[in-house]
């Protein structure tokens, strides 16, 4: 009896280990660098040997593909409509990073009927075996559609710049996430800082306000300095980590990737994989 229970526990553990960490990258304010971080962090994790999928669920200008220089022909909405399989929409980006475009699929999902959702959820379940990390590039703000993706996962990276307006908006989104998902693991990246000190000061300020009003803090993952290489790389449609591998930005992002990958508390958080994730997105979209 005990052996059986132990075997079952082992099986469950094995299943947990084989599901990817699904990490949503979001912000309060727009234009703070989510897409750049999503793309380059994904690539940094690939460089470390992880199997990574980047899912663009930005509803405005879905632009991870532009930064990457890849152009997916199909997106999630084709899968939801049953016209394409999930494998048809996966595009291979630089270094073997897999890219999935969300497109208008995010809106379509709210209108699915139960069986379509079930068929969709089953079809994506197979991806659990293929990836160690799934990075979601979301649009910014407290828009319901964006929030559904952010709240459907337990790991979030909030991006802010050191500007007071961006920090205030970051505070706003973090507060909402903690209110709805008290067990969320929320990390912070300060982008476009002019010095490490400025970034740290911004993170400390945010954490002290969070401590005071929400009684919680976020984990400071690190900073990315303001760097001309980034806009240049974007203009060239090349991720900075590939175009300028030894730039300060690339090294900062690699440091953030190492921190994230080595975070044992997050990686041991039970994660139920793609099917549960999309079921939660669906439920949240319909509230």
Ligand X SMILES: Nc1ncnc2c1ncn2[C@@H]1O[C@H](COP(=O)(O)OP(=O)(O)OP(=O)(O)O)[C@@H](O)[C@H]1O
**Closer Cβ to Mg ion, 210 or 230, answer by number:** 230
Question: With binding defined as CB under 6 A, does residue 69 bind ligand X?
Answer: no
Interface with ligand X, residue 139, by CB under 6 A: yes
Among 224, 241, 257, 281, binds ligand X (CB under 6 A): 224
Note the residue count of the chain: 287
Q: Which residues inside 97-126 make contact with ligand X, applying CB under 6 A? A: none
* Buried residues in 88-102 as b, exposed as e (16+ CB within 10 A): ebbbebbeebbbbbb
Distance of alpha carbon 229 from alpha carbon 142, whole angstroms:
30
Which entry of Mg ion, ligand X, none binds 191, CB below 5 to 8 A by partner kind? ligand X
Please measure the distance between the N-terminal and C-terminal CA atoms of the chain and give it in whole angstroms: 43
Q: Which of 226, 243, 263, 279 binds ligand X (CB under 6 A)?
A: 226
CB of 33 to ligand X, least distance (A): 3
CB 227 within 8 A of CB 218: no
How many CA atoms within 13 Å lie on the side-chain side of 24?
Answer: 27
Choices 16-24, 32-40, 119-127, 184-192; region in contact with Mg ion by CB under 5 A: 32-40
**Could you tell me how many residues of this chain bind ligand X (CB under 6 A)?**
20
Report the residue number, 66 or 86, with the smaller CB distance to ligand X: 66
Q: Which does 162 bind (CB under 5 to 8 A by kind): Mg ion, ligand X, none?
A: none
Q: Does 35 bind Mg ion (CB under 5 A)?
A: yes
Closest CB to Mg ion among residues 112, 166: 166
Alpha carbon of 153 to those of 12, 191, 196, 238: distances in Å? 19, 23, 29, 29
Per-residue binder mask for ligand X (CB under 6 A), 158-197, x = binder = ---------------------------------xx-----
With CB under 5 A as the contact rule, which of the stretches 29-37, 67-75, 91-99, 242-250 interacts with Mg ion? Answer: 29-37
The number of beta carbons lying within 10 Å of the beta carbon of residue 151 is: 21
3-class SS of residue 195: coil
The DSSP line for 137-170 is E--SSS-HHHHHHHHHSSEEEEEE-SSHHHHHHH
Choose which of 111, 208, 231, 268 interacts with ligand X (CB under 6 A): 231
- Please choose, out of 16-24, 28-36, 69-77, 260-268, the segment that lies near ligand X by the rule CB under 6 A: 28-36
Specify the stretch interacting with ligand X by CB under 6 A; choose among 49-57, 85-93, 230-238, 277-285. 230-238
| Binds ligand X by CB under 6 A, chosen from 31, 69, 164, 270 | 31
Instruction: Cite the DSSP H helix spans in the chain.
Output: 2-17, 34-47, 64-68, 76-80, 86-89, 105-110, 114-125, 144-152, 164-180, 196-213, 228-235, 240-243, 248-261, 264-267, 273-286
SS3 state at 23: strand
Interface ranges with ligand X (CB under 6 A): 27, 30-36, 58, 139-140, 191-192, 224, 226-227, 230-231, 234, 249
């Amino acid at each position: 009896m005990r052996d059986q229970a132990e075997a079952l526990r082992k099986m469950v553990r094995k299943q947990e280990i084989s599901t990817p960490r699904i990490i949503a990258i979001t912000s309060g304010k727009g234009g703070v660098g989510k897409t750049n971080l999503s793309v380059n962090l994904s690539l940094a994790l690939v460089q470390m040997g992880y199997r990574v999928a980047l899912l663009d669920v930005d509803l405005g200008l879905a632009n991870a593909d532009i930064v990457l220089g890849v152009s997916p022909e199909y997106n999630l909405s084709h899968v939801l409509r049953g016209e394409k399989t999930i494998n048809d929409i996966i595009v291979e980006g630089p270094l073997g990073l897999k890219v999935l475009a969300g497109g208008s699929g995010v809106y379509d999902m709210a209108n699915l009927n139960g069986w379509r959702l079930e068929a969709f959820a089953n079809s994506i379940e197979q991806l659990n075996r293929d990836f160690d990390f799934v990075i979601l590039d979301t649009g910014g703000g407290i828009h319901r559609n964006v929030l559904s993706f952010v709240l459907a996962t337990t790991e979030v990276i909030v991006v802010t710049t050191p500007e007071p307006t961006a920090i205030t908006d970051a505070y706003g989104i973090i507060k909402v996430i903690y209110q709805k998902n008290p067990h969320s693991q929320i990390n912070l990246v300060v982008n476009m800082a002019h010095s490490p000190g400025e970034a740290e000061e911004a993170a400390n300020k945010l954490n002290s306000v969070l401590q005071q009003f929400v009684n919680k803090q976020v984990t400071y993952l690190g900073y990315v300095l303001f760097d001309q290489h980034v806009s240049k790389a974007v203009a060239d449609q090349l991720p900075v980590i590939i175009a300028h591998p030894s730039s300060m930005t690339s090294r900062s992002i690699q440091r953030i990737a190492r921190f994230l990958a080595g975070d044992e508390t997050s990686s041991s958080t039970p994660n139920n994989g793609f099917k549960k994730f999309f079921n939660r997105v669906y439920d949240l979209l319909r509230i």
